[in-house]
Amino acid sequence: MRKIATLIVTAGLFASSAAFAAEDEYEIGRKLPADAVVTHPDSNPLRDALRPVPATAVFEMEGWSLWDPSLIKVGDTYHLFCSRWPKADDHSFDSGWKRSHVIRATSKSLFGPYEFAEVVLHPKDHPWATRGVHNPKITRVGDRILLYHLGIPQWSTGFAYADSIEGPWTPLPEPVVKANNPALLAHDDGSVYMVSKHKPKPTQDGKWDACLKAHVADHIDGPYRTLGEGRNRLPYNLELEDPTLWWANDQYNLVCTDWEGKVTGTQKSVVYYTSKDGIHYELFSKLPVWTQDEPIVLEDGTHLNASRIERPQVYINENEEFAALLVAVGIEERSHDYIVIRPVDNFVPDN
């Protein structure tokens, strides 16, 4: 059972000024300190649990760019949601992803093959995200199914609900929270914990920074309150992009990308953090879970090369085990090509 109310009250809804002062000793943009507290300094059990990819677990569509995978099982069918836009727009002046829409594909197996089913949300039919519907994430909330996403041009998080995985989907008429790259957990008592990417201004290292904000709400539709005066929730003022959350071992578990490679040395490697209270996070390992420098190894011994591996998402099975790691893959620097669903050997954290 998820006990967000107890966790936040015990830890203190807003961390003390002394804790903030200690946090601020580390400037944003610096590398991981040599004396950093790390759960597994010399190993990474999650990385060790990764397995080769079945050929059927690569989902692509000719003529289309695919990004932002999210997966849910309903009955005996797996439903893969992702962003899509014409591949010809990948190299356009303002990037095709800003004009994306959301699709659904289905399979009877977690590792595919997946077949296109339908367009789920499109900006031409959306009440306010009239330019792009991007970065969808699918989850259950009570008896309903929630699809939450980034809405463009507002750059805010929107919700769409359905009673069936096949829709129809009803978007809320306004954005729910001003947040980018959100990831949320709905708890048994109806309360919600959310994290998002935040770009503080002005930047401290000459580039835009990417910090982790945490938010809570008493109800899924908000209003959302920001925890800890909006401070960066990652330790040592580290940076991230593309967070995803799950609950296991009585803690929040967060997988994201290592923005600028300050933890692993490789930009946008997949890294893992944990938190007992949703406020203070600890790095699980200095070693990346997965990096874009590594070929994607297939079960038959061949491999796929990738310029980029981004948007990591987790699939948790019925036994609450981490069973698959989803990523979006770009063959070239600015391309967005296909989705990979990588098997994980039913990982459960024990820290």
Q: Each residue of 233-291: pLDDT tens digit?
A: 999 999 898 999 999 999 999 999 998 899 999 888 999 999 999 999 999 999 999 99
What is the domain count for the chain? 1
Band (pLDDT 50/70/90 cuts) for residue 198 is: confident
Q: What long-range pairs does 250-255 form, CB within 8 A, spacing at least 24? A: 250/276, 251/275, 251/276, 251/349, 251/351, 252/185, 252/193, 252/276, 252/278, 252/281, 253/349, 254/183, 254/195, 254/212, 254/281, 255/289, 255/312, 255/314, 255/325
Report pLDDT for 25.
60
The residue type found at 223 is: P
Query: What integer best gives the mean pLDDT of the chain?
Result: 89
Q: How many Cα atoms sit within 13 Å of 230 on the Cβ side?
A: 8
If you ran DSSP here, which 8-state letter would residue 289 be given? Answer: S
- Cα–Cα distance between 300 and 134 in angstroms, integer? 33
Q: For position 86, which CATH number holds? A: 2.115.10.20
CA angle 200, 97, 61 (to 5 degrees): 145
Tokens 């356009």 identify what position?
A: 92
Mean pLDDT of the region 98-114: 98
Which structural domain, as residue segments, surrounds residue 204? 4-347
Tokens 């009250």 identify what position?
A: 9
- Highest mean pLDDT out of 105-119, 196-210, 224-238: 105-119
Report pLDDT for 65.
94
Task: Give the ranges where 152-231 is alpha helix by DSSP (H).
Answer: none
- Cα–Cα distance between 240 and 246 in angstroms, integer? 17
pTM to 2 decimal places: 0.91
Report pLDDT for 7.
39
Q: Kindly give, in sequence order, each residue whose CB lies less than 8 Å from that of residue 119, ignoring residues fewer than 6 positions away.
A: 101, 102, 103
Tokens 């709400």 identify what position?
A: 217
Mean pLDDT of the region 181-207: 84
If you ran DSSP here, which 8-state letter would residue 32 be given? Answer: P
Q: Residue 204 pLDDT > 70, yes or no? A: no
If you ran DSSP here, which 8-state letter would residue 220 be given? Answer: T
Could you tell me the two tokens for 29? Answer: 């943009």
Q: Residue 1 pLDDT > 80, yes or no? A: no
